[in-house]
Amino acid sequence: MESTILIFLIFILVLSIFLGFEIISKVPSLLHTPLMSGSNAISGVTVVGALIAAGLAKGVGDNDTAAIFGGIAIFLAMINVVGGYFVTDRMLNMFKKKK
């Protein structure tokens, strides 16, 4: 039963990678930065979900693996959030008037 679920989850991961690549490759380059700004909100939701998952995993006995994966998810989502804000700030600075 667990191997079937694992195979299904791997299938969903691979499918989402290919779908995400196809969607992003079709977006014009002028829209990449605003799209990244919008994805910061989604990454914020991912951080909250990862925090909840890591906290619940630690509270349900000796499930250290789930807590480790939750910590990795928090770390990766925070990289995405911080990078998105840096790119957005850089984009907004391009539109400021020069002195």
Nearest to 49 by CA among 10, 68, 77: 77
- The answer to whether residues 27 and 35 touch, using CB atoms and an 8 Å cutoff, is yes
| 76-96: average pLDDT | 81
* In the chain, where the domains are located: 38-94
Q: What is the pLDDT of residues 14-35, one digit of tens each?
A: 999 999 888 878 877 767 667 7
Measured between alpha carbons, how far is 54 from 71 in angstroms, rounded to an integer?
6
Distance of CA 54 to the CA centre of its chain: 16
Q: What is the pLDDT of residues 43-55, one digit of tens each?
A: 788 888 878 877 7
* Structural tokens at position 3: 């191997």
